[in-house]
Amino acid sequence: MKQHIFALFCLCTSFVGTKAWDFALPNQNGDTIYYSKYTDKSVTVTNSGDPSIVYDVDTLYIPESIVIGDTSYIVEALEVNALLYGRVKVVVLPKTIHPLINTYLLFGLGLANDSITDYIVDSNHPRITSLDGVIYSKNLDSLLCFPMSRRGDYKFPPQTSTICDGAFFYSSLDSINIPNTVTDIHQYSFIAVKNLKTLRYPNSITRLEAVGVYGIKLEEFIFGSGLNYIGGAQFGGVAGVLKRIVCLAVTPPVTTVQQFYGSDSLTLFVPRKSIGLYRQAQGWSTFPAIEPIEPPVVSGVNNAEISWVTNAEASSYSLTLYLDSAQTRRLLTLTFDDRGYLQNMDINPDVYTSSGAPAFDGYAAQSSIPSRVRQAHEEETPETEVNEEQFNTYLSFTVTGLRAGSEYFFVRRTYNAMNEVIDEEQGSFETLPDTETGLDNGNTTIDLTPTTATKRLQDGQVLIVSPEGNTYTPDGKGLK
């Protein structure tokens, strides 16, 4: 794996090299360190790609300078493969280490050794510092290098606004929760992350010049809702295990590329109402499958909006609600045409009239405009000017009259012209419990004051509860 990574970056910086070492001197602890001459006054730490050069200590101290004869050399950097072999856990860096912020020097630190858990920077370094073993800019606003071997999760300091190139290169972290204080993430911040399965950019990121996504176990990559521009992206990379890309932005971020590299083998998930927009957007349209992020059901107190992606071969759809997971107690079945308009409602009287069941309250399912048309209205585009293909991407229907705090089971089917089922989706949902608020002042036949009585919504009806626990309608009629 490391050899592949070296190939990606060997030409990126003059610090990278495999020439023979020039000097070998012990540090303050007597550990021999190998150096290559960089300028007439400086050297870099190296091992020249030689596996026989092993730094076999827990803590390695890098000196500020070395003296060869009459010449003093500043120790300015670690080469990419400087600490490749060995078991170093802690690297102590002097104040002379070159503070590149963009930062291929820090690729060198990241690649140094995958046993490293901590970096310690001399407190007198003018431009970089270490916090809990992580290298930052002096004021902690830029994260420069995270130690390879650190596991678990990581909490960023509140000052962090930038994650630099190579910061989490070959990281062993199991999860990374990037806060919304971060507004700038560089192109190669997360390369060859070893244990991450999901990587999510925060909503605070509005612009990405480019993205390189390479993960050994990475299955999902998420763009935040604030993203409005992406210069380019590479998905898959070294391991090629990435399965899905998620973009939370309602409007597809603008991009100058015709096709994201690797997108032809991935599924893109976007907000349900934006599927049609992504299917037409440059770059994003090259994903072979674009699916909705949202779940198929959004529950209310006495209603639920059930939605589904349209099928080009559909001639009709059906939606059936049950009161049990075994689907023996059918409550009702709704049928729709291929455009999503309600054609028929079949209520099961045996379940509808059963006592004590979380049944349908008899208001009937109210017809709602299919979401294809409603989206056009939201964007203030006359329906006659709407591109049918663009907006005919999903349908939804709101079932009303449900009981609060009850569980329902649904089956949604798609039929072709021969009335054959060509798609089916099953699931369950719970309606929300009753809500309670303070009582508004009003004229009633009983003495209820706002400080002692409460108002609540139950099964679509406003009820007033007295301090004694008695329940009344707003006009003062008591309920048993």
Q: H or E element: which one contains 455? A: strand 454-458
Q: Tell me, what CATH number does 320's domain have?
A: 2.60.40.10
Q: H or E element: which one contains 45? A: strand 42-45
Same domain, 89 and 185: yes
Model pLDDT for residues 381-399, shown as the tens digit of each residue: 444 443 433 334 678 888 8
Task: Please indicate, yes or no, if residue 212 is contained in any of the structural domains.
Answer: no
Same domain, 122 and 103: yes
Same domain, 357 and 387: yes
Strand pairing category for 342-347 and 461-465: unpaired
The pTM is what? 0.63
Same domain, 340 and 450: no
Same domain, 389 and 422: yes
Task: Please indicate, yes or no, if residue 478 is contained in any of the structural domains.
Answer: no
Average pLDDT, stretch 156-174? Answer: 89
Residue 53: what pLDDT? 78
Contact by Cβ (8 Å): 69, 105? no
Tell me the three state secondary structure of residue 254.
Answer: strand
Residue 347: what pLDDT? 84
Q: Which of 270, 293, 316 is a domain's end point? A: 293
Q: Which of 237, 262, 293 is a domain's end point? A: 293
Expressed as residue numbers, the domain containing 90 is 2-196
Average pLDDT, stretch 232-261? Answer: 83
**Of 236 and 91, which is predicted with more confidence?**
91
Task: Please indicate, yes or no, if residue 479 is contained in any of the structural domains.
Answer: no
Task: Please indicate, yes or no, if residue 202 is contained in any of the structural domains.
Answer: no
Same domain, 46 and 147: yes
Residue 396: what pLDDT? 80
Distance CA 365, CA 367 (A): 6
Task: Please indicate, yes or no, if residue 203 is contained in any of the structural domains.
Answer: no
Model pLDDT for residues 117-145, shown as the tens digit of each residue: 899 999 999 999 999 999 999 999 999 88
Q: Which of the residue ranges 154-168, 248-262, 309-323, 386-400 would you say has the lowest mean pLDDT?
A: 386-400
Say yes or no to pLDDT of 203 above 80. yes
Distance CA 289, CA 258 (A): 17
Same domain, 426 and 309: yes
Same domain, 459 and 374: no
Q: Which of the residue ranges 133-147, 309-323, 361-375 would you say has the lowest mean pLDDT?
A: 361-375
Q: Which two tokens stand for residue 241?
A: 């295990």
Residue 432: what pLDDT? 83
Same domain, 111 and 168: yes
Say yes or no to pLDDT of 380 above 50. no
Structural domains counted in the chain: 4
Residue 349: what pLDDT? 80
Say yes or no to pLDDT of 235 above 80. no
Same domain, 6 and 150: yes
Same domain, 175 and 99: yes
Contact by Cβ (8 Å): 310, 394? yes
Residue 133: what pLDDT? 93
Model pLDDT for residues 99-116, shown as the tens digit of each residue: 653 344 444 444 456 788
Average pLDDT, stretch 395-419? Answer: 89
Q: Which of 196, 230, 259 is a domain's end point? A: 196
Task: Please indicate, yes or no, if residue 206 is contained in any of the structural domains.
Answer: no
Say yes or no to pLDDT of 225 above 70. yes
Task: Please indicate, yes or no, if residue 418 is contained in any of the structural domains.
Answer: yes
- The set of long-range contacts for 240-246, using a CB threshold of 8 Å and a minimum separation of 24, is 241/215, 241/216, 241/217, 242/213, 242/215, 242/218, 242/266, 243/219, 243/267, 244/219, 244/220, 244/268, 244/269, 245/220, 245/221, 245/269, 245/287, 246/220, 246/221, 246/222, 246/270, 246/293
> Taking all residues of the chain, what is their mean pLDDT, rounded to a whole number?
77
Residue 105: what pLDDT? 43
Average pLDDT, stretch 85-94? Answer: 87
Model pLDDT for residues 8-37, shown as the tens digit of each residue: 333 333 334 444 688 999 999 999 999 989
Same domain, 422 and 440: no
Distance CA 401, CA 409 (A): 15
Q: For the chain, how big is the Rg over CA atoms in Å? A: 31
Task: Please indicate, yes or no, if residue 477 is contained in any of the structural domains.
Answer: no
